[in-house]
Structure 1
Amino acid sequence: MSQWKPVCRVEDIPVLGARRIARHDGCAVAVFRNDQDKVFALLDRCPHKGGPLSQGIVFGESVACPLHNWTIGLNDGCAQAPDEGCTQKFSIRIDDGQVCLDLNELNSLALDGNKATA
């Protein structure tokens, strides 16, 4: 059974932007909001050179990495061709405007020793 951790409200995420959710272990999670108020969560690291996706430009259901302009799908975390690679996707749930992430995923996925920075 999943446990859900509230991390922010939908309106706390800028439209066409992101909010970083720091974790004790591992890289931060970026929570994105597009212009249709859809919300997505990915590891805040581009699969190319580790760029901070939370600083990228959101368009449609994609984000452009700020380092080398790779386009990453917000639904699956994968780069668009001809680029290759994926970043970790996190499950998300919206409860009455509250954005929640799966606590089990936060505590187990993409914990590679890269500490999150605030």
Structure 2
Amino acid sequence: MGAEQETLLYVGTLDLFMKQIGRVVEWNGEQIAIFRDSGDNLYALENKNPHPKGGPLAEGIVSGHYLYDPLYDWKIDLKTGLVQAPDTGQVKVYSVKIEDGNVWIGA
């Protein structure tokens, strides 16, 4: 038995993703926020805040590999989706692949 093949969605070229600003794409009825840090690292998370009141994450502020949510002052690790202490929660994370300047996200 082999590993399952990951389904990839083409979301554009790397230059479409501005540094430290989120961009939303839709896939299978879900909104996915894609963030580029100050380097060329991309992160993809479900565009849904795990806070009980919810809200979008795409308007968050990126610093390093963390997203700072302006609505609730939460800090979220872009690599793992984990909300940092003292708050708790987790955001669904999608894999990102960059190949020849093209960006793909996987589920």
Query: Normalization by structure 2: what TM-score?
Result: 0.88
Identity %: 34
1:38 aligns with 2:49: no
1:78 aligns with 2:82: yes
Q: How many residues align?
A: 102
**Which ranges of structure 1 fall in alignment gaps of 5 or more residues?**
106-118
CA RMSD after TM alignment: 1.2
Matched residue SS, 1:91: strand
More helix by share: 1
1:8 aligns with 2:19: no
Range with greater deviation from structure 2 (1-10 or 79-88): 1-10
Q: Distance in 2 between matches of 1:2 and 1:81?
A: 32
Runs (4+) of structure 1 exceeding 4 A deviation are: none
Matched residue SS, 2:15: helix
What is the CA-CA distance between 1:47 and the residue it aligns to? 0.8
Residue of structure 2 equivalent to 1:87: 91
Query: Normalization by structure 1: what TM-score?
Result: 0.81
**Contact kept? 1:52, 1:66, Cα under 8 Å:** no
Matched to 1:30, the amino acid is: A
Structure with more relative contact order (C-alpha pairs < 8 Å, separation 6 or more)? 1
